[in-house]
Amino acid sequence: MPKTDPVSTLAPPQSFFSKLRFLGPGFILSASIVGSGELIATTVLGAKAGFITFWVILVSCLIKVAVQLEFGKNAIISGRPLMQDFNSFRGWRIRNTNWMVWGTFVLTSFKILQLGGMLGGAAIALSLLFPQLPVALCAVILGATLPYFFIKNYYSRIEKVSTTLVCGFTLFTLASFAAIFFTSYSFGLTELSTGLTFQLPPELVFVAIGAFGITGVASDEIIAYTYWCQEKGYARYLGPYEESPEWHARAKGWIKVMHLDAFVAMGIYTLVTAAFYLLGAAILHGRERIPEGTDLVNTLAGIYTESLGSGARVGYLVGAFFALYSSVFATLAYWTRLFPDIFVAAGWIAPQGLGKSVRFLALGLPLCWVLTFLFVKQPGVMVLFGGAVGSVLLLLTVYGGVVFFLRNQALKLTPGKVYQTVFWLSIASILLVSGYGIFKLF
């Protein structure tokens, strides 16, 4: 094995506060999650189902983080782009490329519809703020501005912009949730308890599967997390593998930092997700106002005007715009890393051609999203369709998580029996929920 470069390695921080300086990858995921899953999919599910499917949201937020941790751990240890690791898996190959790479490519490509819905939602919010601008023109403007941020595709810029865009909207949502208890839409433990009985009415299966696939750490975020961990520097600080006590000590230290990053993010997005769902269940379901079509964002504004007053509408629209736009922004940052990685793994481009691929994707992907929205014009349906595709992609990430778990166990970098039990319970829960949903759907 190659020796560690002493210049690039760094001893992991030991104290809690010193570890906080190295957090960041999870915040990018939180920004992406809050934008699409919570604002649209979670609220739509709450509006359609009321409190009864609250358990779907909680399970979705809590059980997938174990898979995320194994992906992050592998990214730190291997230091390789994820598709290179997928390509090393055993199993079926097409043109000397592993089926995991092909599966990720095909399923992610289907999610173009979801991104069109997210960009369309941002365009609707912008048009409601400036009524003189048609929605179609707003979509074109937003699609045209996205590539500007990726002229220099730096991690630090992505981390700062994503976190800043979503922070204000998150605080506004929590304020709205607190305010609801001073209105006629207040609810108590009786209503909450109905959402913890694990019921799933057949007519809600599609919406529930979409919400499960897109809320919490979705398959996209699990995959994206590997790129952000590496660009944050965790793998570089660890250094290439070597059979030494020093390397193992550094590995365990940086894995602990990654764990803290992931759990802090989980706390944030679980809190916000629950707030979004309960707002939709309490206000929209009670009024039987189900968001549909291009009226989606305007209808969701009712959450805020009902709990905070009519003056909150503008604040909501501003927040909704930045939340959705930040989610699209974070996804473009991720896709400009994922697709070139796939192209290299499949042998379509040489590693030297990555720069051209990134520039092409930064221009071409927003154009595809704009055209998709202008053609379909149903952002809620588009986002939920992407969530359903994400549920299938989640099965691939589960398989990848198991492979990485066994690899890490062989390196003696898997924690004790409690963690191992939680990991396997997480895998079983994902398979059961996804399998049950797909069975009910078909």
Each residue's pLDDT tens digit, 99-149: 999 999 999 999 999 999 889 988 988 998 899 999 999 999 999 988 887
Among residues of the chain, what percentage have pLDDT more than 90? 31
Among residues of the chain, what percentage have pLDDT more than 70? 88
Residue holding tokens 């030494």?
244
The per-residue pLDDT for 136 is 93
Within 13 Å, how many C-alpha atoms sit on residue 409's CB side? 11
The whole-angstrom separation of Cα 207 and Cα 197 is 18
Highest mean pLDDT of the ranges 21-30, 88-97, 159-168, 377-386:
88-97
Q: Could you tell me if 45 and 284 are in contact, meaning their C-beta atoms sit under 8 angstroms apart?
A: no
The whole-angstrom separation of Cα 227 and Cα 75 is 8
The whole-angstrom separation of Cα 332 and Cα 108 is 12
Within 13 Å, how many C-alpha atoms sit on residue 195's CB side? 24
What DSSP character marks residue 22?
T
Q: At 177, which amino acid appears?
A: F
How do residues 405-440 score in pLDDT, each as one tens digit? 998 887 877 777 888 888 998 898 888 776 766 665
If you count them, how many residues does the chain have?
442
SS3 258: helix
Q: Which two tokens stand for residue 206?
A: 């599609």
- Helix 312-345 crosses helix 296-308 at what angle (to 10 degrees)? 130
The whole-angstrom separation of Cα 321 and Cα 369 is 16
Q: Where are the domains of the chain?
A: 16-414
Q: Could you tell me if 34 and 266 are in contact, meaning their C-beta atoms sit under 8 angstroms apart?
A: no
The whole-angstrom separation of Cα 216 and Cα 383 is 15
The per-residue pLDDT for 304 is 65
Secondary structure of 69-104 as H, E, C letters: HHHHHHHHHHCCCHHHHHHCCCCCEECCEEHHHHHH
Nearest to 218 by CA among 363, 343, 403, 34: 34
How many C-beta neighbours within 10 Å does residue 152 have? Answer: 6
How do residues 360-385 score in pLDDT, each as one tens digit? 898 999 999 999 999 988 887 887 78
Q: How confident is the model at residue 2 (pLDDT cuts 50, 70, 90)?
A: very low
How far is Cα of residue 144 from the mean position of the Cα atoms in its chain? 23
The per-residue pLDDT for 338 is 95
DSSP lists the bridge partners of residue 356 as: none
Q: Which residues contact 327 (CB under 8 A, 6 or more apart)?
A: 31, 32, 33, 34, 35, 36, 118, 166
Residue holding tokens 């062989």?
410
The per-residue pLDDT for 6 is 47
Overall average pLDDT of the 323-337 stretch:
87
How do residues 143-171 score in pLDDT, each as one tens digit? 998 888 777 667 787 778 777 766 776 77
Q: Could you tell me if 265 and 27 are in contact, meaning their C-beta atoms sit under 8 angstroms apart?
A: yes
Q: How confident is the model at residue 294 (pLDDT cuts 50, 70, 90)?
A: low
Q: How confident is the model at residue 4 (pLDDT cuts 50, 70, 90)?
A: very low
Q: Could you tell me if 336 and 44 are in contact, meaning their C-beta atoms sit under 8 angstroms apart?
A: no
Helix/strand number for the chain, H first, E second: 21, 2
CA end-to-end span of the chain: 50
Biggest CA–CA distance in the chain, Å, is 66
Secondary structure of 334-403 as H, E, C letters: HHHHHHHHHHHHCCCCCHHHHHHHHHHHHHHHHHHHHHHHHHHCCHHHHHHHHHHHHHHHHHHHHHHHHH
Give me the architecture of the 16-414 domain, per CATH. Up-down Bundle (1.20)
Residue holding tokens 């500007």?
148
The per-residue pLDDT for 302 is 66
Q: Which residues contact 328 (CB under 8 A, 6 or more apart)?
A: 35, 115, 118, 119, 122, 142, 146, 369
pTM: 0.87
